[in-house]
Amino acid sequence: MEEHLEVSFAICRIHENSNVSIEQLRDSLPDIVPRFVLLCRRLVHSDEHVSFPLLVIFFSPYGCTATMQMLYAGSLNLVLCESRIHKYIEVRELEELTESSIDESLNCI
């Protein structure tokens, strides 16, 4: 049996001045569909230098089909290479997406 997948790309833009919490981000992600999320975070270093590191969040929930999981997992390296972002976090359950897990992935703690 041959399965055909329709692949589409969507870019959601959140304006620079909006302050979206991690909880709001979790609420916006679907429960059973994998997603790649690009997160830009304002980070103030100990010497008061400000940077805006980027992080790819790879959300692959347990409830999605094996085909979708493989499609997204197989695309992760391409997403990282094309975006030239080397830091990422893989999240299987929305509860895993926390401020501390993001800070840890960005080596902020």
* Within a domain: 85: yes
**What is d(CA 72, CA 29) in angstroms, rounded to the nearest whole number?**
15
Note down the domain range covering 96.
31-105
Question: How much is the pLDDT for 13?
Answer: 55
Question: How much is the pLDDT for 10?
Answer: 52
Mean pLDDT of 34-47: 88
Characterize the bridge pairing of strands 88-91 and 54-59: parallel
Mean pLDDT of 70-85: 90
CATH of the domain at 59: 3.40.20.10
* Within a domain: 47: yes
Place of tokens 């981000």: 25
